[in-house]
Structure 1
Amino acid sequence: MTAELVRGQNHALPHTRVGIRVSAGKPVVAAATLADEDGRVPSTEWVAHPGQAALPGIEVSRRATADQRLTVDLDAVPPAVHRLTVLLALPMGPGSPVRFGSVAAPYVAVTGPDGDEIASYTITGLDSESAVVALELYRRQGAWKVRAVGQGYAGGLTALLTDQGLDRAGELAAVIQETVAPGVARTVGTPPARTTEVRHNAAAAAGGTAGDTGPGPGHSTGPGPGPGSGPGAAADPQPPASTPPQPPAQTHDGSIDYTHPRRQQPAAPPSPPPAAPHAEPGRPPTPVAGDATGWSLEERLYNQVWGMFEDLARTTAAYRSAVDFAESRLDQELDRALSDPRSRIAGAGDTAREAARAKHDELTERAREVLDRDLAQLIAESEVVEPALPPAFARWDSPVWHGYRVPMEIPMALRLGDLHLPERPELRIPMLIRLPLERGLWVDSGRGASEAASLMDEAQLRRRAMDTAVGHAVRLLAVYPAGEFTVHVIDPAGSAAVSLAPLVGSGVLDGPPAAGAQGVSTVLAKLTQRVDLVQMAVRGGAADALPPDLDTAEQLLIVNDFPHGFDDRAVTQLRYLADEGPAVGVHLLMVADREDASAYGPVLDPLWRSLLRITPVPDDHLADPWVQHSWTYEPPEVPAGSDVLRLVLAQVAEARRTWRR
């Protein structure tokens, strides 16, 4: 399964012979530097670039193309090399873009010898930069890992190479640009075509209005997900199971490539989706649950939810683009009317202004009509899809939980909550993340995290944050087969006893919640040892040598009130679990206020970045991977008076007892 990385995240490489695939939508230059143990690049002889395409262990392309391929043999690099850094730069020349903010977000994937993807990274957040450090492959404890970097340079290739420690970086940058210049004029880079059918032509909303000068959709200031989560992950959306092509992104001219990060036709035809009922001429087709492609109904529903998320992002982007264009056109026409002396004669200026405003209103109304039409279709689809979702994808108030039974197989994804946009708040898209978890979760209990949180009492907010974490833990327990998921809890001061009552009372925990400094130390030492043992077994190909009493199930550690009860050693262990744990089945679910740990300074920044931040109250901190809309996240809520958690936990506990016999 592909590990979808976010900036700063790393992943172990199971092979030393790998390929690196880059898709950028426009021609880019690919290069690589080799660095020693201190991270120093001694000379230009340690740089693989189009003018010097092959070095021991690395070969790059001699041309600037939209789809780059690099080959790497880590066994062949000199022993002094401890880091291999992949660089991307925009070529200089007529018609070439001058900044990464005007092209599709570059997508970088590391592939194994068989072509299967090991890790991928979508480089989001670039604007004025014309060169970027994409990935680095580095040695750690005798093994190689890949880290997503995404560091951009507005100063271009010269600034990037200078930062790599190279003397005469400007000369080398000039050589590279001169080498690729002859081919740039002959290269036409276009985003790869969408490999599945476009579900709704929502972009038509801007078709008659955006013209040739209309601004593109607005940018969100919220963090991008990664592609590691489902819809909204934005945050780190978790895409479907097939191999991901180039992810979509907004371009400078307002056009958008909406290819889904993982919507690619499989090698063999999947089972056909159900046929939609025949629609009357001029009317949209009647929505059908599971009408996306996929091998099973679960996969079809998963892909359909992603499609709804994509459609909502696209149609909203088209509407916002059309409105922005209408506003821009109105301003321009008003400026012209005011600057023309003839407009002062016989009320000509008033007539021009009224005509400009009438045109603005007409364009805006036309865009709104298209938006309303598409949103109505999505609402109708949501009303059909929501009742058909399996427990892992369903809300807590879904009737599907009434017939819940512990599953025999792990589902492909899990619902973390809902997402919506301000244009139609009642249209909620399930936020799905892939399983097994590739990132830990952080339920932010800080009052400064959002406006809604700032209005709540601190104790009430912390209680709600812990209730949210317990709900996520119950759902994880519910969707895993018996014996394949274990939950540990650290509650140093015992302040979460009320929230933890459902887990403790049902007997599904590995042990009682750990309290005090000694309890924290014991749990962390146990999980750290498990990570070490599994890592050594995997690297040595000796899984059979694991101790017989080792719990091989996926592990979830719930941490409350961090950093209370944590000394420096415990903090180090927690960071280690966040960094290394997910790859070997150990995951964190933190309930914390970042301000409480501010005394540690930047030391804990990598910890927070490695976790997917969610909130116990609605907050618009997530962004989609295409146009970076600010999506409002709605945490899952158990209906008031509902006994669904107790009923589900009772089933899980009984299945665990039966499994142990």
Structure 2
Amino acid sequence: MTAELVRGQNHPLPHTRLEIRVSAGEPVVAGATLGDEDGTVAGPDRIAHPGSPALPGLEVSRQAAADHRLAVDLDALPGTVHRVTVLLALPGGAGGATRFGALPAPFVAVTALDGTGVAGYTITGLDTESAVAALELYRRQGAWKVRAVGQGYAGGLAEMLADQGVARPAELAATILEAVASGASRTVAAPPARTAEGDRARHGAALTASGAPGDTSPTAPAATPAPSPAPTTPVPPAPTGPISYAHPRRAASATPPPPAGTDAGPAARPEPAHPAEPGRPAAPVAGDATGWSMDERLYNQVWGMFEDLARTTAAYRSAVDFAESRMDQELDRVLSDPRSRIGSAGDTARATARARRDELTARAREALDRDLAQLTAESEVVEPALPVAYAGWDNPVWHGYRVPREAPMAVRLGDLHLPESPGLRIPMLVRLPLERGLWVDSGRSGSEAALAMDDAQLRRLAMDTAVLHAARLIAVHPAGEYAVHVIDPAGSAAASLAPLTASGAPAAPPATGPGGVASVLTRLTERVELVRMAVSGGATDALPPGLDTAGQLLIVNDFPHGFDDRAVTQLRYLADEGPSVGVHLLLVADREDARAYGPVLDPLWRSLLRLTPVPDDHLADPWVGHAWTYEPPRLPPGSGILGDVLARAVDARTNWRR
């Protein structure tokens, strides 16, 4: 039975291999320090944090997240370590909370590797603190215990580190937060929390009468969904019947009623249940999630599949680790006894330990395969049912494309998959309007696909990929509500840009040369400044009559070549301030090419969502932090669908202007 601790209370630890689980409601930084008998931390090499996540006997998360799992092996800690202190800190940043008092009380739990609870602690009483020492594992007379600490620090991470005797704590705190900020650009953002009005609000870039951008969703950062218990038991029970395709966590909650006075239409009403025929499993259903419209239900279902795959893979990996650890312990016991070290007894003990490991691993894989079969069956019915905003370019839905009357709630930017299930692809859906710009990395990311290409091929493919992203963003917005601008300083991307320029989608021909670059950047920068001042001053009625209030997408090729210091400053400004007033960047660049600018461009890279033109495992989920392989969008060979879609979108825009 799990012990519920209060501040200052301690509890014995029955195991030496443990997991520490953190649930905070919003993204926090989790780390741990290794202290001596007095609690003093000898130096930076005794601190596990996102920039240095692994130490002997200790591993922490590589990013800020609402939920964390820290792995601790007390037997593997250095002999001089007597305390392991778990630290939580707020990462700060735009829109982030700056004090724990504004968040739900964090919860920290200590569990065995099989998920059995040992102790839990809800950290209450926090107010202005932005960092907290949550709990500590400490050694007394050879035995380990856990103590609930809950000591908060209004001075943040630096003050907390200084309290533990760390030298130069401010520098170390800055290093940790820098690593967190860098990791944020690699994370797939979780879907935002549902508001009282739901997701029926218009997500356009036009200004409302109140002066706020047309997106009426809340401006607070999205909370990561509360985790459902992950199945970490290493030996799951075998099924006794056919596979069930029901998803209790996603389907148990009823679809909320639409707001009073509205009619969401037939598609918004829950579909009737589909009972299985006797002896056959129930068939998976597209739209098997909550929502007021089919698009919203499909969006929530895709995110449910993404979370399910993340958690079932985490359970499998945990079970495999447990099996390996158990085998190692059994072999250590055999080898520690000189009588069984050699001879038939030793061989038998080794074979028995390996057989147990293989059995546990096989049963874990069996459980994973059952879950994968369930998710694959669901994917096979969901993928064909997706609307154009969520559909792959090979989906037949594009052949019936019509320009929408309102912007969708999200857009697909590619696919994600894990190495345990490379054939199961989860659509990568990102909410609209974009909260940050996009960066298509044209450099050598380290993936095998990138290493197999020369520089020219990789840059051409990066620009081709950016054009596909831009074409989808144009296609999913209503006529006249999305404008595209292109900067190509050297004119080197003409071939890739041909589908856009031939259709007339950009507002003007691609800008080239220093004069063209300066003209476009100055015009968009002035637009952002003007609209921001009007919105903050509540004077949107005073905006010039001819001001284009449509969303703006700026495609920038081959950055930073051909950009002077002024242009670089303007791009940084657009990246930081543009999304709030409907101006978004789509940058095609190799970060290595920007080394001449030093660290001045680091904030720019961190403010953009990095995508790649080739498969690469650089993205992480917000639940367990797996490294997911990102698959960029691709057109079917020989397909003319891109030109057809762009032609229809431009025709609709022309008719709208008339």
Q: After TM superposition, is the score higher than 0.5?
A: yes
SS at match of 1:410: coil
Structure 1 residues 314 and 636, CA, compared in 2 at 3 Å: closer, same or farther? same
Q: Indicate which of 3, 17, 20 corresponds to 1:102.
A: 20
CA displacement, residues 40-61 of structure 1 (integer Å, 9 cap, x when unaligned) = xxxxxxxxxxxxxxxxxxxxxx
The equivalent of 1:540 in structure 2 is 537
CA distance in 1, matches of 2:539, 2:570: 25
Structure 1 residues 169 and 353, CA, compared in 2 at 3 Å: closer, same or farther? closer
The equivalent of 1:236 in structure 2 is 189
CA displacement, residues 192-214 of structure 1 (integer Å, 9 cap, x when unaligned) = xxxxxxxxxxxxxxxxxxxxxxx
CA distance in 2, matches of 1:264, 1:538: 38
The 5 Å alignment of 1:255-654 reads: 268=257, 271-279=268-276, 284-343=281-340, 347-654=344-651
Instruction: Assess if the C-alpha contact under 8 Å between 1:484 and 1:553 holds in 2.
Output: yes
Shift of 1:375: 0.7
What code does the residue aligned with 1:571 have?
A: V
Instruction: Assess if the C-alpha contact under 8 Å between 1:103 and 1:251 holds in 2.
Output: no
Instruction: Assess if the C-alpha contact under 8 Å between 1:466 and 1:499 holds in 2.
Output: yes
The gaps in structure 1 that reach 5 residues or longer are: 1-25, 29-63, 65-90, 111-120, 138-144, 172-220, 227-232
RMSD: 4.0
Instruction: Assess if the C-alpha contact under 8 Å between 1:239 and 1:306 holds in 2.
Output: no
SS at match of 2:609: strand
The 5 Å alignment of 1:216-231 reads: none
Instruction: Assess if the C-alpha contact under 8 Å between 2:485 and 2:510 holds in 1.
Output: yes
CA distance in 2, matches of 1:445, 1:616: 7
Instruction: Assess if the C-alpha contact under 8 Å between 1:107 and 1:246 holds in 2.
Output: yes
SS at match of 1:418: strand
Instruction: Assess if the C-alpha contact under 8 Å between 1:287 and 1:380 holds in 2.
Output: yes
Instruction: Assess if the C-alpha contact under 8 Å between 1:162 and 1:169 holds in 2.
Output: no
What code does the residue aligned with 2:580 have?
A: A
Shift of 1:357: 1.8
CA displacement, residues 236-285 of structure 1 (integer Å, 9 cap, x when unaligned) = 244475576554569999699x9999x98776479553234222567642
The equivalent of 1:134 in structure 2 is 90
Instruction: Assess if the C-alpha contact under 8 Å between 1:222 and 1:622 holds in 2.
Output: no
SS at match of 1:104: strand
SS at match of 1:425: coil
CA distance in 2, matches of 1:93, 1:435: 47
Structure 1 residues 416 and 163, CA, compared in 2 at 3 Å: closer, same or farther? closer
Instruction: Assess if the C-alpha contact under 8 Å between 1:131 and 1:153 holds in 2.
Output: yes
The 5 Å alignment of 1:177-192 reads: none
SS at match of 2:353: helix
Instruction: Assess if the C-alpha contact under 8 Å between 1:158 and 1:170 holds in 2.
Output: no
Aligned residues: 503
Instruction: Assess if the C-alpha contact under 8 Å between 1:223 and 1:621 holds in 2.
Output: no
Instruction: Assess if the C-alpha contact under 8 Å between 1:490 and 1:514 holds in 2.
Output: yes
What code does the residue aligned with 2:345 have?
A: A
Instruction: Assess if the C-alpha contact under 8 Å between 2:302 and 2:427 holds in 1.
Output: yes
Shift of 1:348: 2.4
Instruction: Assess if the C-alpha contact under 8 Å between 1:477 and 1:485 holds in 2.
Output: yes
What code does the residue aligned with 1:236 have?
A: A
CA distance in 2, matches of 1:260, 1:576: 42
SS at match of 2:584: strand
CA distance in 2, matches of 1:465, 1:165: 41
What code does the residue aligned with 1:103 have?
A: R
Structure 1 residues 421 and 444, CA, compared in 2 at 3 Å: closer, same or farther? same
Structure 1 residues 538 and 336, CA, compared in 2 at 3 Å: closer, same or farther? same
Shift of 1:455: 1.9
The 5 Å alignment of 1:164-183 reads: 170=163
What code does the residue aligned with 1:328 have?
A: S
CA distance in 1, matches of 2:184, 2:285: 29
The gaps in structure 2 that reach 5 residues or longer are: 29-63, 71-83, 100-129, 136-149, 165-179, 197-221, 235-246, 259-263
CA displacement, residues 152-190 of structure 1 (integer Å, 9 cap, x when unaligned) = 78899999666788799859xxxxxxxxxxxxxxxxxxx
What code does the residue aligned with 2:24 have?
A: P
The 5 Å alignment of 1:59-208 reads: 93-94=9-10, 102-108=20-26, 122=65, 130-134=86-90, 146-147=95-96, 170=163
Shift of 1:108: 3.5
CA distance in 2, matches of 1:601, 1:96: 51
CA displacement, residues 476-532 of structure 1 (integer Å, 9 cap, x when unaligned) = 000000000000000000000001111111111111111011111111111111111
Shift of 1:451: 3.1
Shift of 1:453: 1.0
CA distance in 2, matches of 1:537, 1:609: 28
CA distance in 2, matches of 1:572, 1:633: 30
What code does the residue aligned with 2:188 have?
A: A
The 5 Å alignment of 1:7-46 reads: none
Instruction: Assess if the C-alpha contact under 8 Å between 2:224 and 2:622 holds in 1.
Output: no
Structure 1 residues 516 and 105, CA, compared in 2 at 3 Å: closer, same or farther? farther
Q: TM-score scaled to structure 1, two decimals? A: 0.68
Instruction: Assess if the C-alpha contact under 8 Å between 2:411 and 2:429 holds in 1.
Output: yes
Instruction: Assess if the C-alpha contact under 8 Å between 2:617 and 2:629 holds in 1.
Output: yes
Structure 1 residues 129 and 223, CA, compared in 2 at 3 Å: closer, same or farther? farther
Instruction: Assess if the C-alpha contact under 8 Å between 1:557 and 1:588 holds in 2.
Output: yes
CA displacement, residues 123-172 of structure 1 (integer Å, 9 cap, x when unaligned) = 578968744442659xxxxxxx745689978899999666788799859x
Structure 1 residues 253 and 277, CA, compared in 2 at 3 Å: closer, same or farther? closer
The equivalent of 2:118 in structure 1 is none
What code does the residue aligned with 1:134 have?
A: L
CA displacement, residues 55-93 of structure 1 (integer Å, 9 cap, x when unaligned) = xxxxxxxxx8xxxxxxxxxxxxxxxxxxxxxxxxxx654
CA displacement, residues 211-237 of structure 1 (integer Å, 9 cap, x when unaligned) = xxxxxxxxxx997667xxxxxx74224
The equivalent of 1:38 in structure 2 is none
CA distance in 2, matches of 1:623, 1:492: 33
What is the aligned-residue identity percentage?
63
Structure 1 residues 502 and 293, CA, compared in 2 at 3 Å: closer, same or farther? same
Structure 1 residues 255 and 541, CA, compared in 2 at 3 Å: closer, same or farther? farther
Structure 1 residues 101 and 235, CA, compared in 2 at 3 Å: closer, same or farther? farther
CA distance in 1, matches of 2:91, 2:68: 15
CA distance in 2, matches of 1:249, 1:492: 47
Shift of 1:389: 0.4
